[in-house]
A and B are shown apart, each in its own frame.
Chain A
Amino acid sequence: MTAPHPTATPADARRRGGGSWSLPLVLGGVALGGAVMLALRSPHVAGSYGFCPSALLGLACPGCGGLRGTYELVHGDVAAAWSYNPLVVLGAPVLLVLLARWFRDAVRGEVPWSPPTWAAVTVAVGLGVFWVLRNVPALSAHLGPLAIP
């Protein structure tokens, strides 16, 4: 017989049968609330969400243009969203699918899916590459908000 786990608690027992479905629901609600907030309060107005210190650096970090890009995405303009921040265009559907799958797994009582390590490393390396490339003057017109006044 396999030895019973000595520190198992009912919370652990609940967790092993699948996670809570409320957390993905809350995160989805936060995402929806953010989209509504962006639709109501445009990030195109300077200072509407504070100022980003990177404006003083003259460099674009990977998240620069993220709010404006999400604003355009919420309003259905994918091309404009890409010109502000391609990460938003690429990442938003991935995040929505992951949230939906997390919620489905939790409702079914299955263990939530965990992405493989190579995917995480690919995302991490891709972030670094994107960060460098969008600051290359020849490419920033395609990858970053710097070319947009």
Chain B
Amino acid sequence: MSQIIRHTQSVCPVCLKRLPADIVRDGQEYFLEKTCPEHGRFSAVVWRGDAPSFEAWGDYVPPEDDGAPDCPASCGLCPAHLRKTCCALVEVTARCNLKCPVCFADAGGGSGEPTVGALYDIFRQLVRQGNTFVQLSGGEPTVRHDLPEIVAAAKKAGCENIQLNSNGLRLGADPAFAKALKDAGLSFVFMQFDGTEDGIYEKLRGRPLLAEKKAAIRVCGELRLGVTLVPTVVPGVNDHNIGDIVNFALRGSPAVRGVHFQPVSYFGRYPKAPENKDRITLPEVLCAVERQTGGTIKVSDFAPSCCDHPRCGFHGDFVVLPKGMLLRLTNNKKSSCCGDDAHLKNRSFVSRRWTRTDDGAPDPEGADYRDMDTFLKRVRSHGFTISAMAFQDAYTLDLERLRTCSLHVFRDGRVIPFCRSYLTSMDGNRAGT
């Protein structure tokens, strides 16, 4: 029997008009349900399972008001938004060297690109607003031959953390280009990595890519450029491979700094309207990590996002010890990453975890990791983070969650929450702002 457990606001996936919505529990499944007077009723699963349970996940009190009445139609961080910018995403191109069946940015088209000078002005504007953590995204940023100049421009503008969102193909094929990026000031790479089997890439990206991914990791490792692996998790395609992805990443430490899972969301480009069987929710990813690593990593090793809404993500922090041993750090559920400076704490956290700082020298044989100095050296060099972010599409969009988003996209002079920025209607049209 279903039970309404929360009222919230969402949009119609067809016309994107704002609608009242409910979170409805049916057994151990939770759905976001809404009815558009014109286009009918929609129900999308947002949580499956009770490990962890929907109610217990995150110490979060939802806002009493519904936010700005024109949210999300008119957006650009209004006073009703509850988080400041942690990471500002800047699109440097719409072009791509892949043509993936699934792409949140619907990349591959367009010819106009911002010049390096125009991008410098954007970086300056962001830095003036206190946004010193930028992610260069696209499209595929590495198709731009002047990307090292763009990184240098971000550095010159005062950006402290410059992250590259990339499929890694050019990084592996063109080590000189990767070196130029590193020399220009690139901090770390967020690399699309959907699995350890070529069949996964054939389904998701249109061709086998594993060897190219491994080459990219190798090149970045030689350059001491930290790489975080970013799998898009799609039920029936790579949800069986979650444990292998984690184990592959652990073997790659310290060159690989962690794994950031992104359960598939349906905006931009996707083959057909999603059914609930086409979705995987955060607790399912967490349980898969535990089950598929044979219990080496447990659900209890993770904590909810605090910089964003708890139902938007999780993170678990570890230290990789020699011989494959793993030390858990996230053993407390009470994170201090809340309040006005949550975005600053998270920025400092991800910078610490994703930047490679080791000197390459192995620890002495028999090193005692109970020794405070040895522990600190190891956690700095071999910190490893498993995290996830569940993006929201027009079917799952919950304005309560959207209001706590701290990942923002720079567009037309404004910063816009990620899921609002890429929100598309059922026919693929992007929402206006």
- B and A form one assembly: no
- Interface residues of A, Cβ cutoff 8 Å to B: none
Interface residues of B (CB under 8 A from A): none
